[in-house]
A = this chain, B = another copy of it.
Amino acid sequence: MTRIVQKFGGSSLATPDRIRSVAARVVGARRTGAQVLVVVSAMGDTTDDLVVLSREVNPNPPAREMDMLLSAGERISIALTAMAIAAHGVEAVSLTGSQAGILTDDTHGAAKIQGITGARVTDNLAEGKVVIVAGFQGVSPRSKEITTLGRGGSDTSAVALAAALGGDVAEIYTDVPGVMTADPRIVPEAQKLEEISYQEMMELAAGGAGVLVPRAVEVGRRYGVPIHVRSSFTDSPGTWIRKATEMERMEQAIVSGIAHDSSEAKVTLREVPDQPGVAASIFEPLAEASVNVDMIVQNVSREGLSDISFTIPKSSMEWAEEVVRLVGQHVKASGVEIRSDIAKVSLIGAGMKTEPGVAARVFRTLGEAGINIEMISTSTIRISCVVEQSQMQKAVQVLHREFRPPLIREERGA
């Protein structure tokens, strides 16, 4: 029997009307005979509203209590979704993360899923009921505490449930048609991708494509769960994320998509004396302070001195800045420079591996558009450039025009 996991985010559930639309879609899927497991986020802005409330009673609330608080959001949406489905005469039962057996470690606010027991889920599915599970939350078997999974947690819950309970697909419903070759607000001619590999999707997500968090894609990749990102407003197919070997196209696009990210700041430590272990001296204190370092670039040494640049989330600037300045003193940098007016533009495509000269074309394209590249970082299927934030949009546009994703084979001389 087909077992489908359908995940609906907060904007798909923001009003009673939208909850009724979600219910109609779920009931449609159930009536095809499939078993349907629904994963929901909190309604609309509920989570943000709860965060604001918490800050008003305690500017620095205990993480355990934040999880207690935020987990109320999905509790509301699972119950309302179950009621809306029941209104169609279809049996539905809501389960919290804990009731669904989503077991996590005990890192409040950023818990990792360790396993899913899921007996209540599968028992209810077997009885023909639609089961609605609260995304974003779980329970730590060690501390017996409610935990939340952090950003993008509901997507991760959905893919993990599909993985653990033998789901045939994890459908991620969203307010866009699927995974796009670029942000359509920046590139009007951006296209919806019909399919993309897990690895490319992870790079796109890491590059700033907000449609899915990398950890959800990673769970899908590890357990081979096909993920279908699609619109909650239409019945059109969206984008399938699957193994490269299972994709329908035999050859892969040079560039599948272009992502951008203006959420990071760039830190440069000037003229750091070269010595063994200097990189560790810089990045260990940052890791201890829970600052996520993304790109790291160390340029060629001149007279035993290196400039070291890296990017960190602007959201952690407040506490990162002090750490960075202390680190700078410790490694005897001649200066520390922090710039937040930068952005990262990333081209992702598995076809890059077999297409020579892609990086050179990226640099030339940006150069011809008068865009200065401040940092470069590459993997086998990605090229990322840091540019001035004011030039980010233009960079995405010229690169999209140049590479025309998801073009497979270059029409040379065209």
Contact = CB atoms under 8 A, between A and B. Distances in A.
B53 A82 contact: no
Contacts of A19: 57
A72 B69 contact: no
A140 to B, nearest CB: 13
Interface string A336-368: 000000000000000000000000000000000
A307 B205 CA distance: 77
Interface in A80-96: 80-84, 86-87, 92-94, 96
12 contacts: A53-B76, A57-B80, A57-B81, A60-B87, A62-B83, A65-B82, A66-B79, A66-B83, A68-B75, A68-B78, A69-B79, A72-B72
A44 to B, nearest CB: 12
Interface residues of A, number: 39
- Greatest chain B CB density within 10 A among A54, A66, A68 is at A68
A31 to B, nearest CB: 18
Contact of A75 (B75, B81, B86): B75
Interface in A37-82: 50, 53-54, 56-62, 64-66, 68-69, 71-73, 75-76, 78-82
A219 interface: no
A73 B83 CA distance: 17
B68 A86 contact: no
Nearest to A68: B79
A23 interface: yes
A99 B64 CA distance: 14
Given A19-B57, A57-B87, A60-B87, 14 more contacts: A50-B76, A53-B76, A54-B79, A54-B83, A57-B83, A58-B83, A58-B86, A62-B83, A62-B86, A64-B93, A65-B86, A65-B93, A68-B75, A69-B83
Contacts of A68: 75, 78-79, 82, 94, 96
A81 to B, nearest CB: 8
A20 interface: yes
